[in-house]
Amino acid sequence: MQKISLKKIKENMLLRNYSRGTIKAYLYYIAEYLRFVKSKKFISKNDAVREFLLKKQKKKLSPQTINLALNSVKFLYREILKSPEKIDLKFAKRSRKLPIVLSRREIKKIILAITNSKHRLLLSLAYGAGLRVSEIINLKVKDIALEELTIHIKNTKGKKDRIAIFPEKLKIDIQSLMAGKKKNDLLFESNRGGKLSTRTAQKVFERALKLAKIKKDATFHSLRHSFATHLLENGVDVRYVQKLLKHQNIRTTQLYTKVTNPKLKNIKSPLD
């Protein structure tokens, strides 16, 4: 295989506007693959990639990790080496675990457990609008349309914009938070004036979960899961929920219907 510069691969991905996380992951698996093929001789590219992935499978790595490694190698051959030969390998089957959803009562307990008003508002808006942690820490004043009760989410997952709903209940609090700020200012700033880190926002949630004494393995993303589930429980059509969440495939959204099946919840155990 020809000599390959990881620096040039990084530049290529930056030009394509790949996220920082994707670039880091791709570079890691490409470097690992290059070391792997250098140590052995393979008849074909497909054999090399197959052996590389089988090695990961033997280590009992998750299907998501194996797929990420495969995508990284595909990017190397397709975009960097411009190889005409396709990698004829199927993706590992992804596990379809049910999302961890918090009840309305649990959401309320989590929010009330927070004494810091800014942090309380951050979690309230994340739940009330169905936002990812990366989306809420990047929100700017100009992204909030209080009169239309909408939020313009920019450069979200997949580099696509979307319009989210704004909970009217938070209108006065958000107005107070926005007071004195310029349109390009961040809505939720850190105590030092910069952007809140993803980890800081996650810690706010984790601390509130602990204070609320909720034992579920919930994460910040569970607020988004709960938003979608509660909308479906309110009778909102799954296709509208799909649009609000900006899911590419409706099957992703339909996963929430398995959590919120009212007929199933009305069945009582014979022990009762």
- The catalytic residues are 132, 157, 221, 224, 247, 256
Inter-CA distances, 11 with 14, 29, 43, 69, 230, Å: 5, 16, 30, 19, 42
CA distance linking residue 174 with residue 122, whole number of Å = 10
DSSP string, 4-53: --HHHHHHHHHHTT--HHHHHHHHHHHHHHHHHHHHS--SSHHHHHHHHH
Inter-CA distances, 25 with 34, 72, 80, 90, Å: 14, 8, 16, 20
Q: Tokens representing 86?
A: 């396709």
User: Which secondary-structure segment (H or E) carries 152?
Assistant: strand 150-153
Q: Tokens representing 256?
A: 């929430």
User: Which secondary-structure segment (H or E) carries 232?
Assistant: helix 222-233
Phi, psi of 61 (to 5 degrees): -75, 155
Residue partners of 57: CB distance under 8 A and separation at least 6: 66, 92
Residue partners of 131: CB distance under 8 A and separation at least 6: 125, 139, 151, 153, 164, 223, 224
| β-bridge pairing 144-145 and 162-165 | unpaired
